Structure 1
Amino acid sequence: MTHTWLSWWTRHDRVRDAFPAALLVAIAVVANAAGKDGWHLPRAEGVGWTVLACAPLVVRSRWPLAVVVVTLGIDLAHMANAPGYWLAPAASLVALYTFATHTDRRSAWAVGLTATIAITTTYAMATSQPAFSAQALARLDLAIAATALGDAIGRRRIRLARVVARAEDAERTREEEARRRVTEERIRIARDLHDVVAHHITLVNAQAGVAQHLMRTDPDTAYQALAHIKENSSNALDELRAMVGLLRESDDAPEPRHPLPSLSGLDDLVDSFRTSGLPVEVVRSGEPEWVAPTTDLTAYRIIQEALTNAHKHAAATHVQVALDYRPESLRITVTDDGRPGTANGAGTGHGLIGMRERAAAIGGKVTARPRPEGGFHVFAELPVTLSSKGS
């Protein structure tokens, strides 16, 4: 109920502006109806001046400076005609307060001090009292207090507005960060899907070709090729199921999760290419110590993509994979002997882009270029730990 009332109050400016005016008019009616001999009809003159001065307050928040000027002029005229009427400058005080809440500090105090001097001087002249008499200073204090209160409220509103703006900005930043993370996750999944599909389908295609070629002349070898096709297609389905499982909602039925590939499975990866007809040599140097899981996965995917490109696009007859373990980095070199001008020539370049983006995501780098004598050279340098990334 309270919240509903406050919401209604804040939406109706004219009602909110008119409230102090109505209150002052009610006080004037009561003040002019009371007397030493009891209650009587309110004096029309006192109530009339109050109504006239309070009428502009209905639009005080829309035109605060104009309302100050109009109400001050009416109140000064009222004080000059009835200097003993204590309620005379009340409308001006409300107008000064409103103006101070809607403007900057310098303007608020310039108008407030001018009005204060005018009220004090007019009262002193109308009552033939010194400007520093108690009655005159009382009106000075009230005008100063109205300006000071309005200035304080205005500054508080500005601070609250800034706090709200910062909170809204922080909320927008969180939403943007969430969207950015979702985009990055989609890109990562797209890379994984590309790597898995390109790798396994390439192997299946090569092995299917071997099986077709040897089906009549060497059935045993053709049968082995078909077995490899079955194994690679099964592995592809398992990896796709694991990655697509990341997109499931929390209340979906659980799927079996398979570990992401890593360099521990490099020999199996190389063997799969060897069985498809691509000789691959692996050379290791340095002391292989602990490698961050992200680096491990990235290294595996880069080697997988490089071998897939060499087999699919370069028409290579030999590929060398070199792993150089260093204290702060892992260097990977994949070199093939494909024919000049055929390296990656038939591809879209998405694989190379994916390798570079994967390496950059963990603070590493990848360079890929054709060799003058033929084939392709891929070099990657990855940080062993994420601290090497500088984040």
Structure 2
Amino acid sequence: MTPLAQAQRQLHAHPLAADATLAAGVLLCMLAGSFVDPHGEHGVSWSLRTPYPFSLFLMTLGAIALIFRRSAPMRVLVVTGTLSVVESVTGDPRAPVAMSVVVALFTVAATTDRATTWRAGLITMTVVTGAAMLAGPLPWYAQENLGILAWTGIGATAGDAVRSRRAVVQAIRERAERAERTREEEARRRVAEERLRIARDLHDVVAHHIALVNVQAGVAAHVMDKRPDQAKEALAHVREASRSALNELRATVGLLRHSDDPEAPTEPAPGLDRLDDLAGTFRSAGLHVEVARTDHDTKLPAGVDLAAYRIIQEALTNVQKHAGPDAKAEVSVVRVGPNVEITVLDNGHQEGEEPREDGGGHGLLGMRERVTALRGTLTTGPRYGGGFRVHAILPVKTRTRTATAEDPV
């Protein structure tokens, strides 16, 4: 760090010392100016005459007042203005006490608003210049009097310019900080959305396949001794369900890899084109499933297609887990205007089973989050006479960024 930079750092750290240094410099300038005689024989010349003691006293008071210009700028302006008026009326007209007024007016303009600067500047220029013109020993048109008018105006203008520049710099800094906070908040929001999306996919995959494995393993254990062929078939279903679970987990977790990772899976996310395969896995587990589709081969956006598949998968998994061994499920996919409606019904009874009302687990919550992200609607609840109903309305054309975030990559 250079000596000049060190000195500036010390002055910023000790503002009172900086103001004292400025006051000393202003005092030296006023003393030097008191020796200038603009009325010499050959124009401006240096006079060897010593300034009047009273003028030295006024200049010293004006310089001392500038030490407190940061803490009380308006009071310092009043004090220095008063000293300048007194000098104009009673002292040596060559003594530039008005220089302290210019510095004080600059400080007021740099630390207050523009309206206050205008008022203070006009009053100061009028009083100080008027006192010098009307009560001073020099003619009213003397260049010293016009110089007071000019320098006070320059002090107010320069201070206002400094204040405006500080305001612009502060506004730029605040915008930069706000933009940085906004970027961080957006990044955190996207991370939270991605974490929620992956959690939903993992829940759907694990819950579905583990429920099937549990059912088939129970069947195998029950018939292992008496009907080994049926047990072997059940174990084959267990192996197939576990293989499917591993494949879907690999595809889901693979989305976390970098896009240029050559090992990242490229298998597309499941959709309604695999609805028959999905129903077949539940039929093999002993659940009677009927599927009816009147969507007329509608081409759905990837996010809507995935959400529809996951909703049906989760609803059938809940039927398998909660509706009892003799339950039947009906799945319908219907295109109604700009929407596609998904309905899953079952006739199971919930006596002695876990409740499936909202808030009972993550399955219904995940379905609701998927539908909400697509700006659709979801209705779930028990049916009259027994059973449960899941009804989702999904728009065919999505308008949310969240929905497209679930598209396969």
Shift of 1:249: 7.2
**Cα offset for 1:40?**
6.6
One-letter identity of the residue aligned with 2:25: L
CA deviation string 1:100-128 (max 9, x = no partner): 12112222222222222221122124424
What is the CA distance between 1:303 and its match in structure 2?
A: 0.5
Shifted more, 219-228 versus 92-101: the winner is 219-228
* Number of the residue aligned with 1:27: 29
Q: TM-score, normalised by structure 2?
A: 0.84
Q: State the alpha-carbon separation in 2 of the partners of residues 363 and 352 from structure 1.
A: 16
Find the aligned partners of 1:22 and 1:10 in 2 and give their Cα distance: 17
Alignment of 1:45-60 (within 5 A): 45=53, 48-60=57-69
TM-aligned CA distance change 1:340 to 1:199, over 3 Å:
closer
Residues in 1 aligned to 2:36 and 2:99: alpha-carbon distance in whole angstroms = 19
1:380 partner SS: strand
The residue number in structure 2 matching 1:312 is 321
Compute the displacement of 1:177 (Å): 2.0
Q: Which runs of 5+ in 1 are unaligned?
A: none
- Identity among equivalent positions (%) equals 41
Q: Greater shift after overlay, 91-100 or 19-28? A: 19-28
Counterpart of 1:370, as a letter, is: P
How far, CA to CA, are the matches of 1:133 and 1:262 in structure 2?
A: 93
In structure 2, relative to structure 1, the CA distance for the partners of 1:44 and 1:135 (3 Å cut) is closer
Distance 1:357 1:223 in 2: 39
CA contact (8 A) 2:34 2:95 kept: no
Cα distance change, pair 242–58 in 1 and its aligned pair in 2 (3 A): farther
- Verify: 1:201 aligned to 2:213, yes or no: no
8 Å CA contact 1:204, 1:232 repeated in 2? yes
Please give the alpha-carbon distance, in whole angstroms, between the structure 1 residues aligned to 2:52 and 2:187.
67
What runs of 5+ residues in structure 2 fail to find an aligned partner? Answer: 404-409
User: Structure 1 CA distance, aligned partners of 2:137 and 2:46?
Assistant: 31
Q: Distance in 2 between matches of 1:200 and 1:324?
A: 26
Residue of structure 2 equivalent to 1:75: 84
Residue 227 of structure 2 corresponds to 218
Native 8 Å contact 2:87 2:93 kept in 1: no
Q: How far, CA to CA, are the matches of 1:4 and 1:382 in structure 2?
A: 65
Asked whether the equivalents of residues 313 and 342 of structure 1 are also in contact (C-alpha less than 8 Å), the reply is no
Matched, 1:287 2:296: yes
Q: Which residue of 2 aligns with 1:361?
A: 373
Distance of aligned partners of 1:31 and 1:388 in 2 relative to their CA distance in 1, 3 Å threshold: closer
Aligned-residue offset at 1:340: 5.6
CA distance, structure 1, for counterparts of residue 135 and residue 100 of structure 2 = 19
How high is the TM-score relative to the length of structure 1?
0.87
Write the distance in 1 (CA, Å) between the matches of 2:49 and 2:152. 31
d(CA) in 1 for partners of 2:119, 2:46: 44
Q: For the Cα contact (< 8 Å) 1:83–1:127, is it kept in 2?
A: no
Checking the alignment, whether the CA contact within 8 Å between 1:309 and 1:344 is kept in structure 2 is: no
Matches of 2:402 and 2:204, distance apart in 1: 27
State which drifts further: 342-351 or 205-214.
342-351
Greater Cα shift, 246-255 or 112-121: 246-255
Q: Which residue of 2 aligns with 1:377?
A: 389
Equivalent residue letter for 2:87: H
Native 8 Å contact 1:25 1:54 kept in 2:
yes
Q: Secondary structure at the match of 1:386?
A: coil
CA 1:358–1:20: 2 relative to 1, 3 Å = same
The number of residues matched between the two structures is 391
Contact 1:211 1:221 in 2 (8 A): yes
Counterpart of 1:181 in structure 2 is 190
Q: 1:304 to 1:102 in 2, by over 3 A?
A: same
Query: In the aligned structure 2, how far is the partner of 1:141 from the partner of 1:34?
Result: 18
Q: Which residue in 1 is equivalent to 2:113?
A: 104
Tell me the distance in 1 between the aligned counterparts of 2:109 and 2:28.
25
Q: CA deviation at 1:18?
A: 4.0
